[in-house]
Structure 1
Amino acid sequence: MKKLAFILTSIILISATVKVSTGSTGDDETSSHNLGISVPEVALVDVEGPSGEGTTINLSPNINNLEAGAAVDFTTANDNSLWLNYTSIIEQGNNGNGNGNGSSKTRKIKAEIDENLPDGLDLMLEVGTIASGSGQTGTAIQEKIALKKGPTTVIDDIGSCYTENGAGKGHRLTYSLAVKDNKFDKVMAETFSVQVTYTITEN
């Protein structure tokens, strides 16, 4: 009996010793630490075609069956093989108070050409509705726009979103030529090129 009592006393003492030892380190049943998270602002845009980025397109009216006396149909000078892709993460709004409770700024995409076309012709652009992506993708201006040397908004109200990447993703771009009203006499046979630039900026 004394032997059993001695064994029980020893177990209790060992348990007490372990408990005191564990508590002395300051540890407990739970532990925690801080973790910082940083989400960057993102504003990226590119134009994708069948050959990837930087595809060159050519516009020329079809005159194969043109009859003498008929007007050249410049609407046949068109191309819709290019697509506009973008990725955007916007900053949280703060109402000027820095409290993060205000309306966030949206973005827009502007298009422009580096040189005006020769007299008599306009380069027309039509941006299609969004075909893919997720988030607050932008709203295309639903009309043909005559591009000029100087930015014109073609997509508005872009929030945090992505369109997916590549041809067939985002917004289809359709380019065409048009003769300015009563300026057919200014149209000359020549070869020239312009560069179209798209820029994503805050509203």
Structure 2
Amino acid sequence: MKKVTFLLAAILIFGVATIAKAQESKTVASHGLNITIPTHAMIALAGSSSTDLEFEAVAAEVAGDKVTFVQTSESALWLNYSSIVSSGSSNTISAEISNLPDGLIIEVAVSAAAADGKNGMTGTGYTKALTSGGVEVVSGIGTCYTGSGESLGHSLVYSISADEDNYQDLVAGDHNLTVTYTITD
């Protein structure tokens, strides 16, 4: 009887140990991973030599014609940006000019699409006459980046003309202006 009891006790202990060991053994484990991605917007200008452009008025070749304007610097400008937006929203870029002389119209042509190097939902560029109050020149910017540097992002091409309705307001002299680009949501 002692042998049977001993045998039963051994089987019971061995069985309980095996069950306990089976419960300790796992083939899968997991944990949570929390990630926060904030909204983000950055903008920069890139140029081939300088971000300053120079224009000069060229006198009319024929008496009675108006003055024209030509760019005298060889610099090309590019608008680079990075953006992370919230679901269902987008960013825009506006351009504002300081000290616009009376009698002039200054337009910026922002290329419709960003150049190679982009990734994500870059915006759409427009040609607009610049004002001191600012105008939207790129819309529909989603989560994206254009790449950084020359020949990346949107090209910027400026044109200057005399305002036909306010030609009498043109004044001779050096005019130093600043164009400011702002990215907002």
TM superposition score category, shorter chain reference: 0.7 to 0.9
Question: What's the CA shift for 1:16?
Answer: 6.7
The answer as to whether partners of 2:68 and 2:162 remain within 8 angstroms in 1 is no
- State the match for 1:138 in structure 2: 123
User: How far, CA to CA, are the matches of 2:18 and 2:41 in structure 1?
Assistant: 57
The answer as to whether partners of 2:57 and 2:68 remain within 8 angstroms in 1 is yes
User: How far, CA to CA, are the matches of 1:166 and 1:105 in structure 2?
Assistant: 26
- State the match for 2:80 in structure 1: 85
Question: What's the CA shift for 1:29?
Answer: 2.1
1:72-111 matches, cutoff 5 A: 72-74=67-69, 76-77=70-71, 81-92=76-87, 104-111=88-95
- State the match for 1:47 in structure 2: 45
- State the match for 2:171 in structure 1: 188
Q: How large is the Cα RMSD of the aligned pairs?
A: 2.7
- Could you say if the C-alpha distance between residues 151 and 19 of structure 1 is closer, same or farther in structure 2, counting changes exceeding 3 Å? farther
- State the match for 1:31 in structure 2: 29
User: How far, CA to CA, are the matches of 2:123 and 2:91 in structure 1?
Assistant: 8
User: How far, CA to CA, are the matches of 1:118 and 1:199 in structure 2?
Assistant: 22
Runs of 4+ in 1 over 6 A off after TM superposition: 15-18
Question: What's the CA shift for 1:129?
Answer: 2.1
- Total equivalences in the alignment: 170
- What TM-score do you get using the length of structure 1 for normalisation? 0.72
User: Which runs of no fewer than 5 residues in structure 1 stay unpaired?
Assistant: 1-11, 93-103
Question: What's the CA shift for 1:120?
Answer: 1.2
Q: Deviations over 1:9-59 (max 9, x none)?
A: xxx9xx8797466457x452221111112222111111111247xx22212
Q: Which amino acid aligns with 1:134?
A: N
Q: Which amino acid aligns with 2:84?
A: I
Question: What's the CA shift for 1:175?
Answer: 1.1
1:118-133 matches, cutoff 5 A: 118-130=101-113, 131-132=115-116, 133=118
- Could you say if the C-alpha distance between residues 28 and 118 of structure 1 is closer, same or farther in structure 2, counting changes exceeding 3 Å? same
Q: Which amino acid aligns with 2:36?
A: S
Question: What's the CA shift for 1:77?
Answer: 3.4
Question: What's the CA shift for 1:177?
Answer: 1.2
